[in-house]
A and B are shown apart, each in its own frame.
Chain A
Amino acid sequence: MSPIRWRVALHATDRTGPPMLALALLSWLSRNRCEDSLSIVSFRGGELAGEFSRFGPLRIMLNDEEAWDHRRPDSPRAAQLMADFFGLEPADITLLVSVSAGQVLPYLPAGRDCVVAWVVEQGEDLHWLHGPLRVADHVDAWIAGSEGTREALLEVLGDQTVAVAAEFVDDWSPSPPGGTSEGARATFRAGLGIGADQMMVLGAGICTYRKAPDLFLETVVAVERSQPGRARFVWLGGERDPLFDKVSAEIERLGVSSMQILPGVAELRPWFDAADVFLHPARLDAFPLVCLHAAITGTPVVAFRGAGGVPEMLGDTFRGANYPDVAGLGAEVVGLIDPHQRARLGGEQQQVVRKRFVTDIAAPALVDAVMVAQHEHRLAS
């Protein structure tokens, strides 16, 4: 097995799904393919830049908050970017982790590398394929992060070969040494004003319509109508996004005392440990890693069917309602007030995720798929 020079491309080094995926992959590559070399290139920066640079040289194209219009790029700046990246480390494989990572492609030097897109988006997010960047024209091989994403991709690409390599997260369980005891859990919940007899329902994500904190609030209202005071709800994240303040104001206007909306946190693990249910009311989410994290912690996940990849992720253990049945989603949450139901469902979902979507199982499959793609690309060229 000859060493491979990997260039992992990202849209940003922030704490969103694709960069988290890329980190898990880089971590696995560094542990299991020591002879390979790794480099990272990202269109924008973010709070995880330090973590990425642990695995190899990290190059970030734009400055913080720098405006960029792909339809009308600033010519001198574009030329400067191309000059800056002309001497980039050579690569055998450029792996785009998400289609939006394709934003880096116009500024990378032409080479003999095989460009592989690991597509982890659906819906509007696929617009990069045919937008002004025409990412589809620069990709040599396609891998989808789930079956659902593969179908969505084929609808856009037409007649193409698209492999599937599942998205994954590191296995968190069992609890880390000195991890969450019942006492620590109770203390954590008490800090949020959640009583021992109340069910804690957690949601997390950026505050956009797609992630739907507004539907989270609607579900809260629906649950409160049928089971007042039985559950407390916390949404984490998205404080820089448009819906954060709007949903906050709505909570206040309606006097919904059972819901809090809080800024994002660096470490979600204690929140999953404290929560009884993870509610994910996204309007569209291809294969939400946050649900993998919740399930792997044993926190049962409730989500919409027909709104992305959660049903595919959890298979027979999926629990939820058809989009946009908020009342139905609320009823599913209410159905988990019984702690035995929660424990059973959480255990079942944990088993499903552990079997298929943890790094040690899914990362080798992804690397195999990339190798096959590279081999076919070599033969073709």
Chain B
Amino acid sequence: MRSILAVTAAPDDRPSTSTLRVIVEELQSRPDVRAEIWLLRAAPEDDVWGSPRVVDELRTWRPAALLESLRVPVLPDLLRGLRLKWWLYQLEPDLVILDDGLGGRLFDGRPFGRRRRPVMAVRTNPDHPRHQTWEPAPLNAADIVLQLPGTEPGPVSGQRMDAAHVREYPDAGRLGRDEARTSTRATLAVPGDAVLITGWGNDGWLDGPDLFVRGLWALEQRHGIAAHGLWLGLGSDPEEVRRLHVEAERCGLSGRFHQRSADTVAARCCGDAAFLPYRDAGDPFALTEAVVSGLGIATFITADVHDPMVIEVPPLDVEAAADALAELLGRDRSVEAERARRRLDVGGWVDSLLDLAATLR
């Protein structure tokens, strides 16, 4: 049984709070893991965490408060410290996650209980929490830095793990498997046995479907890969769809360009690679979900998803996009899907975190 403790300032509405919750829930769902969340300060208006321990409640803990009212010196703080140590003793965490790097003083850097010092992980965060009275723990004391986008923690002696897009992708892994993709292609009436490049978006300009078509052209001209293209979206714009078909024909892609209105995760993942020639950042969740399915993506804008399966090429450069697609098509999809799952899907990501913590212990 492994014990994990996550400490956070207070529940709040920062987007990163939901990511931490997904991680803690995943830990709590595992039979061999005991995971607790401690709040530094109570936030009764927020019901994100159920009934966690609240460190700040030690201040008003009745026995200590009674001694304080009797003006007994030293003893109230000593009692509070003992109670905190009792809490820690009961849990005996192997791994402590300090959100925002806050709460480090609870551990004082000293061993406690009967066991060794836990592995200390600090999650960096670009947003400030509501309460800023705590001092973040110095990152160079962290064994693991869980990094969110927009943060550059500077010198870090510990291991870094990207925590930017960790969440649950319940369908992506399943839909990325060969049999599911074959079934989806049959449903969409696109060739099951051809190389298929997918792309998606509803804006005929910002999402660049015309560049998508020319990307297919470049893939054939420069790499000899006569792929089919499936664009998902634009269902409300038949004139745009007609224009794209004309463009595809002009580019010598007759019968190899398909458009479907249904922009679903199954449809996005049924390709062999994706080309997202965006002029404006797309939805990072859809992009990450596709990556978790094993789909390699060539794009002009990564939407802050920095992953080995996402290749960013210079804007408007369809030749570079074709090079990237050819490279992605040469990879083993099932291997890439498993790797992506461990990087991005919360289940795989937690596996990686626990493995790393065990190694460091």
- Complex Cα distance, B317 from A217, in Å, reads 11
Contact A283 B316 (CB under 8 A): no
Given A209-B210, A253-B279, A325-B221; A221-B250 close (CB under 8 Å): no
- Complex Cα distance, B218 from A218, in Å, reads 14
Given A209-B243, A284-B250; A324-B217 close (CB under 8 Å): yes
Contact B251 A323 (CB under 8 A): yes
Q: Is the interface of A mostly helix, strand, loop or mixed?
A: helix
Work out how many contacts link A and B, with CB atoms closer than 8 A: 35
The distance from the CB of B102 to the nearest CB of chain A, in whole angstroms, is 38
Interface size classification for chain A: 20 to 34
Q: Quick check: is A124 within 8 A (CB to CB) of the other chain?
A: yes
Given A209-B210, A214-B210; A283-B247 close (CB under 8 Å): yes
Q: Is the interface of B mostly helix, strand, loop or mixed?
A: helix
Give which listed residue, B205, B314, B318, contacts A326 with CB less than 8 A. B318
Contact B319 A324 (CB under 8 A): no
Taking CB as reference atom, which chain A residue is nearest B243? Answer: A209
Number of interface residues of B (CB under 8 A): 17
Q: Pick from B210, B246, B316 the residue with the most CB of A within 10 Å.
A: B316
Contact with A along B230-264 (1 / 0, CB 8 A): 00000000000001001100110000000000000
Given A124-B246, A284-B250, A307-B250; A327-B314 close (CB under 8 Å): no
Contact A323 B250 (CB under 8 A): yes
Contact B314 A324 (CB under 8 A): no
Contact with B along A199-237 (1 / 0, CB 8 A): 000000000010000100110011001000000000000
The distance from the CB of A40 to the nearest CB of chain B, in whole angstroms, is 32
Q: Which residues of B contact A110 (CB under 8 A)?
A: none
Taking CB as reference atom, which chain B residue is nearest A219? Answer: B316
- Complex Cα distance, B222 from A326, in Å, reads 13
Q: Which residues of A contact B317 (CB under 8 A)?
A: 221-222, 225
Contact A283 B250 (CB under 8 A): yes
Q: Which residues of A contact B315 (CB under 8 A)?
A: 221, 254
Q: Quick check: is A250 within 8 A (CB to CB) of the other chain?
A: yes
Q: Quick check: is A246 within 8 A (CB to CB) of the other chain?
A: yes
Q: Which residues of A contact B210 (CB under 8 A)?
A: 209, 214
Q: Which residues of A contact B343 (CB under 8 A)?
A: none
Which A residues form the contact surface with B (CB < 8 A)? 123-124, 209, 214, 217-218, 221-222, 225, 246, 250, 253-254, 283-284, 306-307, 323-327
Q: Which 4 A-B pairs have the closest CB atoms?
A: A218-B316, A324-B214, A221-B316, A327-B319
- For this complex, 11 residue pairs linking A to B, each with C-beta atoms less than 8 Å apart, are A123-B246, A209-B210, A209-B247, A221-B315, A221-B317, A254-B315, A283-B250, A306-B250, A325-B221, A326-B214, A327-B319
